[in-house]
């Protein structure tokens, strides 16, 4: 399919684990002929240990992600973002959400001395898309994708993380933001749902916009 008109040149897709942000970012990048920047999740050597013992390995896991994301974002600085479309499956600034949920007070204090220095050199997206879902929906999607290291993830952890994400993006004002409720849609297996989201993205967005599509879009 040919590239479609999309005003934002740099789009970041966000959401809690299991919401489908990577799948959506891949579809979006393909649709608009953009370069895809994937978060290096599975490359993190501390990730499996983190899910076995979150308290012990949270700081190591967090630092790896922080540095990895920073290095990727630095690569964007040498690109011509005005001539090339970029879709990333994460927003660098959201790194602080996991830190606030998982780190001890002392670890968080150290993290808060490092992260702002790195953030000052990061390019801002033209648009952030926050994919939102209820905790039961997230858990169901996590179970369906069946990553072995995620089997230990429980309802309470996802609920805390989900609330932290909602709070963060409720107060987010750095860039235009599109919040999409995804409980009733399947943009991977239902092209109509994906097309509907593309239509929303193509509309001018200033500030914050909330969109809650129904699972059956035939009557629009």
What pLDDT score does 215 carry? Answer: 56
What pLDDT score does 218 carry? Answer: 41
For the chain, domains (ranges, CATH) are 10-41+79-95+123-211 (3.40.50.300)
What pLDDT score does 83 carry? Answer: 55
- Tell how far CA 116 is from the center of its chain: 19
- pTM (two decimals): 0.88
pLDDT values of the chain reduced to their tens digit, one per residue, 220 residues:
444 545 678 899 999 998 999 999 999 999 988 989 988 888 899 999 998 999 999 999 999 999 999 988 887 776 655 557 899 999 998 889 999 999 999 999 999 999 988 888 788 899 999 999 999 999 999 988 877 777 788 899 999 999 999 999 999 999 999 999 999 988 888 889 999 888 888 888 888 999 887 655 443 4
Tokens representing residue 51 in the block: 């899910």
User: SS3 for the chain, per residue?
Assistant: CCCCCCCCCEEEEEECCCCCHHHHHHHHHHHHCCEEECCCCCCCCCHHHHHHCHHHHHHHHHHHHHHHHHHHHHHHHCCCCCCCCEEECCCHHHHHHHHHHHCCHHHHHHHHHHHHHHHCCCCCCCEEEEEECCHHHHHHHHHHHCCHHHCCCCHHHHHHHHHHHHHHHHCCCCCCEEEEECCCCCCCCCHHHHHHHHHHHHCCCCCEEEECCCCCCCCC
Any catalytic annotation for residue 89? yes
Among 123, 152, 110, 132, which Cα is nearest to 213's?
A: 132
Contact between 37 and 76 (Cβ < 8 Å): yes
What pLDDT score does 2 carry? Answer: 43
d(CA 112, CA 110): 5
Contact between 9 and 126 (Cβ < 8 Å): yes
Catalytic position from the list 89, 95, 126, 196: 89
């Amino acid at each position: 399919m040919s590239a479609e008109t999309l005003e934002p040149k740099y789009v970041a897709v966000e959401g809690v684990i299991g919401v489908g942000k990577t799948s959506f970012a891949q579809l979006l990048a393909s649709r608009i002929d953009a370069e895809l920047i994937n978060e290096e999740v599975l490359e993190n050597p501390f990730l499996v240990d983190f899910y076995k013992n979150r308290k012990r390995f949270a700081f190591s896991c967090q630092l790896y992600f922080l540095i990895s994301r920073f290095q990727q974002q630095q690569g964007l600085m040498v690109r011509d973002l005005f001539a090339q479309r970029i879709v990333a499956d994460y927003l660098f600034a959201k790194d602080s959400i996991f830190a606030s949920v998982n780190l001890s007070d002392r670890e968080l204090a150290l993290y808060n001395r490092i992260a702002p220095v790195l953030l000052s050199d990061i390019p801002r997206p033209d648009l952030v898309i926050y994919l939102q879902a209820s905790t039961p929906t997230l858990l169901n999607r996590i179970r369906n994708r069946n990553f072995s290291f995620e089997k230990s993830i429980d309802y309470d952890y996802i609920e805390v993380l989900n609330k932290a994400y909602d709070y963060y993006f409720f107060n987010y004002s750095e860039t235009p933001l599109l919040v999409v409720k995804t409980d009733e849609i399947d943009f991977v297996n239902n092209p109509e749902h994906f097309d509907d989201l593309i239509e929303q993205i193509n509309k001018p967005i200033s500030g914050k916009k909330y969109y809650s599509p129904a699972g059956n879009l035939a009557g629009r």
